[in-house]
Amino acid sequence: MIIANQISDQEIETLLEEILDYYGYDFTEYARASIKRRILRIFTLEKFETFLQLRNKVINDRKFFKRFVEEITVNVTEMFRDPKFYKCLRSDILPKLAAYPFIRIWLAGCSTGEEAYSIAILLKELGLLEKSLIYATDLNPIVLEKAESGIFSLSQMKTYSKNYIESGGIKDFSSYYTATYDLVKFNRDLRKKMIFSTHNLVSDRSFNEFQLILCRNVFIYFDRDLQHKVLQLFDASLEKNCFLALGTKETIDFSSIARKYERIQNQKIWRKLQ
Amino acid sequence: MEEIAMSENKCSALIIGGSAGSLDVLLNVIPKLKETMSFPIVIVLHRKKGTDSLLTELLASKSSLRVKEVDEKEQPLPRTVYIAPSDYHLLFEKDGSFSLDYSEKVNYSRPSIDVVFQSAAEVFTNELVCLLLSGSNADGVNGLEQVKTYGGKAWVQNPDCATVPYMPQQAINIVNTDKVLTIEEMIYSINALDNTA
């Protein structure tokens, strides 16, 4: 059991400040409840006796720091998560983008890539993949390596196949991958329209103009100020009349950019009007 | 006596955790709660994902309290029943607002009752009441222990009248619980927490 009161809020603040000073990774505007829980988790997993030991290891051991970043940023994801959302992309949003000569999609916080492959499958089935490019970014290079490999666990495929069918997919989901023992590798042609790159939403700038930006279940880890800053970044990176998609529990309503956007049906998808 | 004791520690939040066999309890209890309720009630129920709106609508149709699903960063209000969304962990920020998290399942569950009880314990300390209902695993038991550590109250459904007694029984075995309640007693005890009366 996690003993929360072993670590004070002040100690968490100190650690986050040190990480910013030393590595340039800024977690100081992350929502505290979640990040504290993640730090406590690694504290317990690694069997540290004092918080100072953990702080020293984070600052002095670069390899451990990489693992630390991987642990405190949540990298749990799924293919075709929230099938209704993908159904809306398939039937409503992507067909609207079909008129563009070239479709640029930014998947911000792509983690291990499950969403990137889901979107590539949709684009392929709609005949749009050839003229699309999916820019999949994450702050964490380790998860990007996994995403690039296109290799996932076979045990997940039953869930993903079910999600795929619920999202309106009519093909045999297993035709998109080759299984070897307990792993599957997704087909090469899905991968060729993806560009994986590190990008930190907290500190990096806009790098292109997109027709669709997806950032799902990333905002829940940010505080309101940071959410607002990142929405401004997305706004600056989104072409007029194009679309921004967030996670099912996230919103743009609190932000000043909201007045420029119109929400699509009951989805967490907004269209930029001006 | 009991009400005098409660008025010393006002209740800032009631969190109800449940698993198999809990829906019936909620459908019996929530409609009988006073509409003046001076604190938010948060429900964390193990269930299939994608069934959120059904549960919210069902409870809303039977209750005079406002019933809604949790939105991230939302500040909980009195006279309102909040439903934790399926497939996210629910946490509380220091200012009492809701925070969501899509990290690994805990006790094979997301939302995990342990996670929400533990997080609430730190934030609401001795102004927190947590109630654990029927269920077939022990999710919530560690959380109740944490609630007690921070001075909050640990209530459990009486296993004798729970559809699946395992979960409340585990809590009674391990945690120094404050109350063991039948459905009628739950209604009475929750209404007695209301300090607008």
Give the pLDDT confidence of A138-168 residue by residue, as tens digits.
999 999 999 999 999 999 999 999 999 999 9
Partners of B71 on chain A (C-beta within 8 Å) are 249, 251
Q: Is the Cβ of B93 closer than 8 Å to some Cβ of chain A?
A: yes
**Nearest chain A residue to B105, by CA:** A76
Environment class of A273 (CB within 10 Å of its CB; exposed 0-12, middle 13-18, buried 19+): exposed
Say yes or no to pLDDT of B46 above 50. Answer: yes
Told to judge if B136 belongs to the known catalytic residues of this protein, a careful annotator would answer no
d(C-alpha A169, C-alpha A126), whole Å = 11
Tell me which CATH homologous superfamily contains domain B12-193: Methylesterase CheB, C-terminal domain (3.40.50.180)
Average pLDDT over residues B85-102: 95
Per the annotation, the verdict on B139 as an active-site residue is yes
Of the candidates A4, A31, A254, the beta carbon closest to that of B93 is on: A31
Q: Reply yes or no on whether the pLDDT at A124 is more than 90.
A: yes
Band of pLDDT at residue B49, cut at 50, 70 and 90: confident
pLDDT grade for B5, boundaries at 50, 70 and 90: very low
> Could you report the predicted ipTM of this complex, rounded to two decimals?
0.88
**Residue B154's CB: how many other CB atoms inside 10 A?**
26
Give me the residue from A1, A249, A254 closest to B142, CB to CB: A1
pTM: 0.91
| Residue A269 contacts residue A263 (beta carbons within 8 Å) | yes
String of DSSP letters for A57-94 = HHHH-HHHHHHHHHHHS-----TT-SHHHHHHIIIIIH
Q: Report chain A residues whose CB lies below 8 A from the CB of B102.
A: 74, 76, 217, 220
